[in-house]
Structure 1
Amino acid sequence: MLRALAMAAVLLTAVATPAIAKPALPSCASNPGPNTARCLSVAQTAADTGHGADDLRAAYNLPATGGGGQTIAIVDAYDNPNAESDLAVYRSRYGLPPCTTANGCFRKVNQRGQTTPLPAGNPGWGLEIALDLDMASTACPACHILLVEGDDPLDANLAASVNTAVAQGATVVSNSYGLDEHGSMSKVAAAYDQPGVPIVASSGDSGFRTAEFPAVLSSVIAVGGTTLTRADNARGWTETAWSSAGSGCSAWVAKPAWQHDTNCGMRTIADVSAVADKLAVHDTYQVPGWVTIGGTSASAPFIAGIIALAGNASQVHDASYLYAHADALYDVVDGHTEGMDCGGDYLCNGRPGYDAPTGLGTPNGIGAF
């Protein structure tokens, strides 16, 4: 059975409610059926201590301007009926300009590119949508946002949604979901190969394990995750590999010519990374408002936003552009991701230079993009 992920490890919070340790609970149905994606948002009550937009823009040295005329497409399953209103609260809190249907900045369509009928609502995937919209907004406040909602999480419908995003004028497309790579993924792989429009996907939230589709495709920029911590240094922050950051060595996809790591003879993920731990997000569909969220579900739309911010998307068809500009990234040299044990190897540990959990590193401005 194909198993899919929507990579948000979520910490729910109610303001003024003390943190209470509880078993992690998935936000979405655990057994949605064959060939159907399931989101694995993991929820636990906690205080709202997540990084906000101002923290992230400072930590990654992002310019105050840029992104005009660019469109970030977010592809997810099901509908979040509160998506636009929750996004407005997030952007207002952090001083980001309004992005609404009325001012032409925000659009929400179904997988056929129509505003109606939208798919059925789903609170679990709705929380995923809220996370994706907030992170894309943080990276590129001036960008337009196109939310494409698949009918359901079937891989064919998510692929159709990617095609619709490109047809609707997306500059870059973000996908915060994945499933174990498999022998028949070629049936939908073409949707993730769009000349002139970079396709970004989360690397996964289960550590070093089976490589994730669509991130494993060589046409896709696979985004891993880090933990970001304030520090008394020149940057003001340090980063380590996030403990659940997805990494993997493909059993199906050949190693691209531009990837040269030594211990995986096939495609390795991830390519690049960004924070995937302790992020402030606003959602009122599944949860009561402000929450703290983690997961490579956050890092993928953030990287998509930076690609759009740089205004160079048509030159970044796949990750080869990043490999040629790796010196413009922050190298993440510490940390360890869980999953299968790889000893001290770079496949599950942060190391100088390329490593699988964090790829080439994280954004230092827009120079690598």
Structure 2
Amino acid sequence: MRTNLRPAHRRAAISLAAAAVLGITAAAVATSANAAGAPAAKSAGPAWSRACDAPAPGMAACDALHVTNVPEHIRALGVTPNATPSGFGPADLRSAYKLPANGGAGQTVAIVDAYNDPNAAADMATYRSQFGLPACTVASGCFKQVSQTGTSTLPANNTGWAGEISLDLDMVSAVAPNAHIILVEAKTASMANLGTAVNEAVKLGAKFVSNSYGGGESSADTGYDTKYFQHSGVAITASSGDGGYGVEYPAASPYVTAVGGTALKKDSSARGWSESVWSTNSTEGAGSGCSAYEPKPTWQKDTGCSKRTVADVSAVADPATGVAVYQTYGGSGWAVYGGTSVASPLIAAVYADAGTPKASVPAANIYSHTSALNDVTTGKTATCTPKYLCTAGTGFDGPTGWGTPNGLAAFTG
């Protein structure tokens, strides 16, 4: 039986400096609370909560964090011309990671999530229209929404996972706007059903599959690897988790690209951006560490773990520097999201921009092109031994892997 990795995540507050990234002023003062509902001290900044409820034993949880009190400066619903929603949008992400404006042509990216979002297509259409991205519809053949077995009979609706679905679709739209997208919805959040959905995504032709969920490691994981995640020449990404230091599955699989998380901020540097490890507190931040069960891939050379080390690469995940998302099923329109659920579909879309993978396990390419990444050298999630498993430094570290995209070179081949 799979067990849950983390206690329920806490809602968190951020400083005014970070709040400014989201367009929030000192007037936006909120009381945050932990996931059990206990009040926390007031803080001048936004608060956030898990998009998905804490899972039952044996189930995975999505890694999306919904910022709950960001005041929007555009109307809540629909498209507002000549206005910008709170949170980073496509142009910001492309600028931060030196990505093409028209990436993804000829490629198919799949999103695997649990349960159904009945507004998925319509909400994605609004996001794309707001940011001037090309339409991607069912009618045109660009978008497909199917069950874990590929049928049009979709699972039960779920408002929490709908937030995850909106986030995933919007991140792929932002980074690979010309890619086709398949949303494969598992009937529950069990690894068997989510894994079946991964297999279906590959069967339907996706060469890039994002998984923004995870649960505690299990001795059964090596069996899940070969049954669900071992797809040669397919870039499968998985969120490293939002619980700080510690490992979850499927990010621990040696057949996936484990994606950690950063805080992303605009600055006056030559790059125009800076990043550090995402860490809110001792129980919330980018997941990392040594797997208890998974063998170490041949392309992973760090010496602090005898088995698989998480993560490989990273991207923005801090809710305090979160991204714009449009969600109406379980949401009220424009919102800001964070969590490593931002980073996983973003990296899957970067792979799509780079073209069809040639390597059997595309994560191996990252380790061969480490100089083509933004090395994240500041921040930590915990105190651990060896230090690099939870603390950023020059080169490889657990929370951010080898760093964040700096163009496409690290994801090509």
- Summarize the Cα distance change of 1:226–1:183 in structure 2 as closer, same or farther, 3 Å threshold: same
Instruction: Please give the alpha-carbon distance, in whole angstroms, between the structure 2 residues aligned to 1:20 and 1:57.
Output: 31
Instruction: Please give the alpha-carbon distance, in whole angstroms, between the structure 2 residues aligned to 1:10 and 1:98.
Output: 35
- Summarize the Cα distance change of 1:316–1:47 in structure 2 as closer, same or farther, 3 Å threshold: farther
TM superposition shift of 1:148:
0.1
**Residue 358 (1) aligns with residue 382 (2):** no
TM superposition shift of 1:8:
10
**Residue 240 (1) aligns with residue 276 (2):** yes
- Can you give the 5+ residue segments of structure 2 that lack an aligned partner in the other structure? 13-21, 36-49, 73-85, 280-284
TM superposition shift of 1:37:
2.4
Structure 2 residue aligned with 1:87, among 106, 121, 124? 124
Aligned length: 362
Q: Which has the higher contact order (CA 8 A, sep 6+)?
A: 1
TM superposition shift of 1:261:
1.3
Which residue of the partner structure matches residue 35 of structure 1? 58
Instruction: Please give the alpha-carbon distance, in whole angstroms, between the structure 2 residues aligned to 1:54 and 1:302.
Output: 13
TM superposition shift of 1:94:
1.3
Instruction: Please give the alpha-carbon distance, in whole angstroms, between the structure 1 residues aligned to 2:9 and 2:103.
Output: 28
Instruction: Please give the alpha-carbon distance, in whole angstroms, between the structure 1 residues aligned to 2:56 and 2:315.
Output: 32
Instruction: Please give the alpha-carbon distance, in whole angstroms, between the structure 2 residues aligned to 1:10 and 1:95.
Output: 33
Which residue of the partner structure matches residue 409 of structure 2? 367
Superimposed CA distance per residue, residues 162-187 of structure 1 (whole angstroms, 9 cap, x where no aligned partner):
00000001011100011111111233
Instruction: Please give the alpha-carbon distance, in whole angstroms, between the structure 1 residues aligned to 2:181 and 2:117.
Output: 15
Structure 2 residue aligned with 1:109, among 146, 155, 161? 146
* Contact in 1 for aligned 2:63/2:340 (Cα 8 Å): no
Matches within 5 A, 1:139-288: 139-190=175-226, 191-209=228-246, 211-243=247-279, 244-277=285-318, 278-288=322-332
**TM-score, normalising length from structure 2?**
0.82
* Contact in 2 for aligned 1:10/1:41 (Cα 8 Å): no
Instruction: Please give the alpha-carbon distance, in whole angstroms, between the structure 2 residues aligned to 1:9 and 1:297.
Output: 16
SS in structure 1 at match of 2:160: helix
- Summarize the Cα distance change of 1:225–1:71 in structure 2 as closer, same or farther, 3 Å threshold: same
Alignment RMSD, CA only? 2.4
**Residue 319 (1) aligns with residue 343 (2):** no
Which residue of the partner structure matches residue 3 of structure 2? 2
* Contact in 1 for aligned 2:379/2:391 (Cα 8 Å): yes
TM superposition shift of 1:93:
1.4
Instruction: Please give the alpha-carbon distance, in whole angstroms, between the structure 1 residues aligned to 2:224 and 2:244.
Output: 25
- Summarize the Cα distance change of 1:292–1:262 in structure 2 as closer, same or farther, 3 Å threshold: same
* Contact in 2 for aligned 1:329/1:362 (Cα 8 Å): yes
Instruction: Please give the alpha-carbon distance, in whole angstroms, between the structure 1 residues aligned to 2:329 and 2:163.
Output: 7
TM superposition shift of 1:344:
7.9
- Can you give the 5+ residue segments of structure 1 that lack an aligned partner in the other structure? none
TM superposition shift of 1:71:
0.4
- Summarize the Cα distance change of 1:38–1:201 in structure 2 as closer, same or farther, 3 Å threshold: closer
Instruction: Please give the alpha-carbon distance, in whole angstroms, between the structure 2 residues aligned to 1:87 and 1:269.
Output: 31
Superimposed CA distance per residue, residues 280-301 of structure 1 (whole angstroms, 9 cap, x where no aligned partner):
1111111111111111101000
TM superposition shift of 1:343:
6.5
Instruction: Please give the alpha-carbon distance, in whole angstroms, between the structure 2 residues aligned to 1:312 and 1:187.
Output: 27
SS in structure 2 at match of 1:357: coil
TM superposition shift of 1:258:
1.1
TM superposition shift of 1:18:
4.8
- Summarize the Cα distance change of 1:352–1:183 in structure 2 as closer, same or farther, 3 Å threshold: same
TM superposition shift of 1:349:
1.1
AA aligned to 1:295 is G
Superimposed CA distance per residue, residues 74-128 of structure 1 (whole angstroms, 9 cap, x where no aligned partner):
000000011111111111111111111111111000001012x100000001100
Instruction: Please give the alpha-carbon distance, in whole angstroms, between the structure 2 residues aligned to 1:27 and 1:368.
Output: 31
Instruction: Please give the alpha-carbon distance, in whole angstroms, between the structure 2 residues aligned to 1:141 and 1:9.
Output: 33
TM superposition shift of 1:271:
0.2
Which residue of the partner structure matches residue 45 of structure 1? 69
TM superposition shift of 1:40:
5.8
Which residue of the partner structure matches residue 16 of structure 2? none
- Summarize the Cα distance change of 1:234–1:40 in structure 2 as closer, same or farther, 3 Å threshold: closer
Instruction: Please give the alpha-carbon distance, in whole angstroms, between the structure 2 residues aligned to 1:332 and 1:301.
Output: 20
**Residue 349 (1) aligns with residue 385 (2):** no
Matches within 5 A, 1:329-348: 329-338=373-382, 341-342=383-384, 345-348=387-390
TM superposition shift of 1:9:
9.1
- Summarize the Cα distance change of 1:317–1:41 in structure 2 as closer, same or farther, 3 Å threshold: closer
Structure 1 residue aligned with 2:341, among 297, 320, 331? 297
Instruction: Please give the alpha-carbon distance, in whole angstroms, between the structure 1 residues aligned to 2:354 and 2:11.
Output: 29
